[in-house]
A and B are shown apart, each in its own frame.
Chain A
Amino acid sequence: MTLHLTNARLIDPEAGTDSLGSLTVRDGKIVGRGAAPKGAQVLDCGGMCLAPGIVDWGVKIGEPGERHRESFRSAGLAAAAGGVTTIVARPDTSPSIDTPETLEFVTRRAAESVVRIRHMAALTKGRLGEEMTEIGFLLDAGAVAFTDVFHVSTNTKALARALVYARSLNALIVGHPQEPGLSAGAAATNSKFASLRGLPSVSPMAERIGLDRDLGLVEMTGAAYHADQITTARSLPAIARAKRNGLDVTAGVSIHHLTLNELDVGDYRTFFKLTPPLRSEDDRVAMVQAVAEGVIDVIASFHTPADEESKRLPFEEAASGAVGLQTLLPAAMRLYHSGEVTLPQLWRAMSLNPANRLGLAQGRLAEGSPADLVLFDPDAPFLLDRFTLHSKSKNTPFDGQRMEGKVLATWVGGVQVFKG
């Protein structure tokens, strides 16, 4: 069957363009931008935005171990409703995805999702930072990257070995830049606000120190490295320098660190407790600029489902993290509406760059690419009610907030998986 999407505002991150046009989809692929072929089903997009589906890198799904928080099925529904067509899942499950067997299990389970799921595997066994996993077997089983997620290894020698080994297999390493000794026990970023609230806090420098170590290891081993979240201005020159020096380094940031700051915690609101903690407004502004300039490559939701009980605790004891699959697009629209970032720039960071870095064919509107698409109205306003989210967990910091940007339709491989 052939689908012709006409009168659409095409957001093309590869070309960097945002212009009216049409797009033809056949057999799950984008086949052209010309006139409607004969016999095609024509859909008038009414001037709404049509962009590559989002590739959300770093999503926590509760399988195995915490299916009450999120399943592949619920995550898939949330993703489709949020314009996310590829979920890149994290291995910080229970048990960790650190063997080909567990990876095969989640790959099978992932068939329940309506959007594509790709898996990252643990870099070390049990994500303990001591012994490397079977990187070769895991690559064969389909792992797209290797990460211990938020666990930072203090065994630098073991980490160096894992990086050297990964280099020989061209495996991508995802690091969480953080000096774990400095950030131990912290629930906020050092500031007047954190101190007046009496919250244990960490200096933003902990991120830079962790990053400097990781970049040193990259220089030493030649490994391909992606920093999962860079959230402070002080880390940016280090990333820019590493890229200039030709290291194989990219960096990401969460949408929450681009749209919220430490003051949003207010009166100990635990939905705003994140890893790393929210930063100062100066840092937020610097990160948005870094996205526009391309120093930061990837924007992701870092979707982290937490049940109600784990958030209904004193701030220090409460679980960290926020759901984001369904709110990534409307939250990103805040950056577009404030004039700080254009739509092609956003889609470069939310779909083209992550797809390229992970070796996926998605993330573009080019002929022959998979027809993973999102049609959305960037201006449609709404009031977010967290109980309308498809995720099993409802821990969103945007609850009750005014947002703009509604997904109208989502296609995965030419098949419509969501209709708004």
Chain B
Amino acid sequence: MSFRARHLLGIEHLSPAEILSVLDLADRYVDLNRRTVKQSDVLAGLTQINMFFENSTRTQASFELAGKRLGADVMNMSVAQSSVKKGETLIDTAMTLNAMRPDLLVVRHPSSGAVNLLASKVNCAVLNAGDGRHEHPTQALLDALTIRRAKGRIQRLTVAICGDIAHSRVARSNLILLGKMECNLRLIAPPTLMPPGVEGFGCELYDDMKKGLKGADVVMMLRLQKERMDGGFIPSEREYYHRYGLDAEKLSFAKPDAIVMHPGPMNRGVEIDGEIADDINRSVIQEQVEMGVAVRMACMDLLARNLRAERGRAAVGVMV
């Protein structure tokens, strides 16, 4: 069980088998995380650097905790405040860090493709923790794990993704992953928040939330990404909430056992009603956070196996 690639840059390059193997391993880490002593040594001796060019609290904490529970030496760098301000380019920052010989580099960057660029310049394994509006693979994997644990399977479910799809990397990674799992995908958003070319995605498109939610097994809400918007995409938050906010009435159109997800942080009263978010019978939002740590442990474990195997081959001089 391992990844074929050295890096985890996106869901796009993962096979369905690889995705399932991450989920299987993550299940085991969920068990570990629920014990009193949450320690493993699979990353012992390895150095993990979290490099966040964009502010993040939850994702960075999740990666930090995942690394520490696996015994890695973890360092956090908030690059948003440091060298970039002094005019250093992304590649120079990466080369500098690379010279410190890290083993795992966790990177978040506001530009799409920036993590791919960085990965091409360093010797260690790179994990994409979100690049622009491109991909956020560990989020899609943790969502998949949450769905599988709640629904018993991930294949061929009807999943509705609602909200700010245009600006969301979470939506893109989820679309790709759930597409690989042959799910029936629905996108629900006002047309201003649909990405261009969405007709080619192979999803059902709705601008009426009630129609879109009809018969859904999973309702995935997205945060309204106000910081990525350049101008008015919606007339007002209250009109948005009225038409696209998830409340009990709209949720009643989904299947009675449909689960409600949100990648966080939530804007209560904008895209989701507070009571729905807190309803332990419907909302799996807290589980998503828990699965996040386990999935990130699994991903880093798998990447470290590749790294060790590669170094082992190099040490004995095997021609590849």
Contacts and interface: CB of A to CB of B under 8 A. Distances in A.
Contacts of A314: 90, 109, 111-114, 117, 132
B197 A190 contact: yes
A316 B196 contact: no
Nearest to B115: A314
B89 A312 contact: yes
Q: Which of A194, A196, A268 has the most CB of B within 10 A?
A: A196
B116 A268 contact: yes
Contact of A195 (B12, B90, B195): B195
A199 B133 CA distance: 7
B198 A195 contact: yes
Contacts of A193: 197
Contacts of B217: none
**Most chain A CB inside 10 Å of its own CB: which residue of B113, B196, B201:** B113
Given A192-B201, A314-B114, A316-B111, A203 B134 contact: no
A314 B112 CA distance: 7
Contacts of B131: 198
Contacts of A194: 196-197
Nearest to A269: B113
A268 B89 contact: no
Interface string A176-213: 00000000110000111111111101010000000000
Interface string A246-278: 000000000000000000000110000000000
Contacts of B133: 198-199
Contacts of A312: 89, 91, 117
A190 B197 CA distance: 6
Interface in B201-239: 201, 230
Which residue of A184, A191, A192, A309 has the most chain B CB atoms within 10 A of its CB atom?
A192
A27 interface: no
B135 interface: yes
A313 interface: yes
A180 to B, nearest CB: 14
A385 interface: no
A315 interface: yes
A314 B132 CA distance: 10
Interface residues of A, number: 23
Nearest to B113: A268
Given A198-B169, A313-B90, A314-B90, A267 B113 contact: yes
Contact of B134 (A191, A197, A201): A197
Interface string B102-124: 00000001011110110000000
A290 to B, nearest CB: 24
B192 to A, nearest CB: 13
Given A267-B113, A312-B91, A198 B132 contact: yes
Interface string A211-235: 0000000000000000000000000
Interface string B22-49: 0000000000000000000000000000
Nearest to A196: B172
Contacts of B111: 314-317
Contacts of A192: 197-201
A316 B198 CA distance: 21
B255 to A, nearest CB: 29
Nearest to A315: B113
A203 B196 contact: yes
A264 to B, nearest CB: 15
A190 B199 CA distance: 12
A185 B176 CA distance: 26
A198 B113 contact: yes
A315 B12 CA distance: 18
B196 A191 contact: yes
B304 to A, nearest CB: 24
B166 to A, nearest CB: 8
Contacts of B116: 267-268
A315 B201 contact: no
Contacts of A315: 111-113
B52 to A, nearest CB: 15
A207 B90 CA distance: 33
B197 A195 contact: yes
Nearest to A195: B195
Nearest to A268: B113
Contacts of A317: 111
A143 to B, nearest CB: 37
A126 to B, nearest CB: 25
Interface string A303-315: 0000001001111
Nearest to A187: B112
Nearest to B167: A198
A402 B230 CA distance: 42
16 contacts: A184-B230, A185-B230, A191-B196, A195-B172, A195-B197, A196-B172, A197-B113, A197-B134, A198-B133, A199-B112, A199-B113, A268-B117, A312-B117, A313-B117, A314-B132, A317-B111
Given A197-B112, A198-B133, A314-B132, 20 more contacts: A193-B197, A194-B196, A196-B12, A196-B172, A196-B176, A197-B113, A198-B113, A198-B135, A198-B172, A199-B113, A203-B196, A267-B116, A268-B112, A268-B116, A312-B89, A312-B91, A313-B90, A314-B112, A314-B114, A315-B111
Interface of B: 12, 89-91, 109, 111-114, 116-117, 131-135, 166, 169, 172, 176, 195-201, 230
Q: Top 9 closest A-B pairs, CB basis?
A: A198-B134, A268-B113, A190-B196, A198-B112, A314-B111, A192-B200, A198-B133, A192-B197, A195-B195
